A and B are shown apart, each in its own frame.
Chain A
Amino acid sequence: GENVEQHPSTLSVQEGDSAVIKCTYSDSASNYFPWYKQELGKRPQLIIDIRSNVGEKKDQRIAVTLNKTAKHFSLHITETQPEDSAVYFCAAITFSGGYQKVTFGTGTKLQVIP
């Protein structure tokens, strides 16, 4: 089955600096890669996603890159703010004909220091 590794498990950055979280996956059939942000006591919220036919996607301060050959994808947050502090999860999903096989990474606790 699919295995998703996520690093680092914790990350502290100064406000205004950039943060990068990396995930690797094992199943080459995976074709959809969302990133979720989960604040304490809240539900996971989708912040950005990328499909396997795209190498990079940006949304304001957030970007995701995908390297299909190496089977890894990364979340980039620029100009970090204290409200970016949360746990971030990557996921690798195989999606075909209405069927989904989903595996989440282990999570990264991001702390943005004011």
Chain B
Amino acid sequence: SAVISQKPSRDICQRGTSLTIQCQVDSQVTMMFWYRQQPGQSLTLIATANQGSEATYESGFVIDKFPISRPNLTFSTLTVSNMSPEDSSIYLCSGSGSAYTETQYFGPGTRLLVL
């Protein structure tokens, strides 16, 4: 299984600023995903991070608000832009091992509070 780390683990940000979250996998993974999870709620997929091409966003999420990079098979970043208090949430990344396995392994999450 893949071991996934995220930075920062938590942050408190001011309204109108941006935060970039980093996701590092200890081995190459074919697919990486970014989720948002409100406390006590389920996971909502923001986008699939594609290596070498633009991310694929889910309904309700746009690139201008959540730009994503994936420069290689072990690393991705998610930026939360022009933040408002409604962006306060836990952001999780996950990786799927290879083109032949569907299993997703999750990072520990980034807890974001926007004031």
Residues of A within 8 A of B (CB): 1, 32, 34, 36, 42-46, 49, 89, 93, 95, 97-100, 102-107
Digitize B17-55: 1 where CB-to-A-CB distance is under 8 Å, 0 elsewhere. Answer: 000000000000011010000000111110010000000
Chain A min CB distance to B70 (Å) = 14
Contact: B33 with A102, CB < 8 Å?
yes
Contact: A49 with B103, CB < 8 Å?
yes
Residues of B within 8 A of A (CB): 1, 30-31, 33, 41-45, 48, 59, 92, 96, 99, 102-109
Contact: B31 with A98, CB < 8 Å?
yes
Contact: B103 with A43, CB < 8 Å?
no
Known: A95-B102, A100-B102. A44 touches B48 (CB 8 A): no
Besides the known contacts A43-B92, A100-B33, A104-B43, 12 further A-B residue pairs in the complex with CB atoms under 8 A apart:
A32-B102, A43-B107, A43-B109, A44-B106, A46-B1, A46-B103, A93-B102, A100-B96, A100-B102, A102-B33, A104-B42, A107-B41
Q: Which residues of B contact A104 (CB under 8 A)?
A: 42-45
Q: Which residues of B contact A103 (CB under 8 A)?
A: 45
Q: Which residues of B contact A49 (CB under 8 A)?
A: 102-103
Report whether over half of chain A's contact residues are helix, strand or loop; otherwise say mixed.
strand
Chain B min CB distance to A71 (Å) = 18
- Expressed in whole angstroms, the Cα–Cα distance for A99 and B48 within the complex equals 10
**CB contact between B31 and one of A1, A32, A43, A100 (< 8 Å): that residue:** A100
Kindly report which residue of chain A lies nearest to residue B96, judged by CB atoms: A100
Kindly report which residue of chain B lies nearest to residue A95, judged by CB atoms: B102
Contact: B108 with A34, CB < 8 Å?
no
Chain A min CB distance to B8 (Å) = 15
Kindly report which residue of chain B lies nearest to residue A97, judged by CB atoms: B99
Closest 5 CB pairs of A and B: A98-B99, A95-B102, A43-B106, A32-B102, A104-B43
Known: A43-B92, A100-B48, A100-B96. A106 touches B42 (CB 8 A): yes
Chain A min CB distance to B115 (Å) = 21
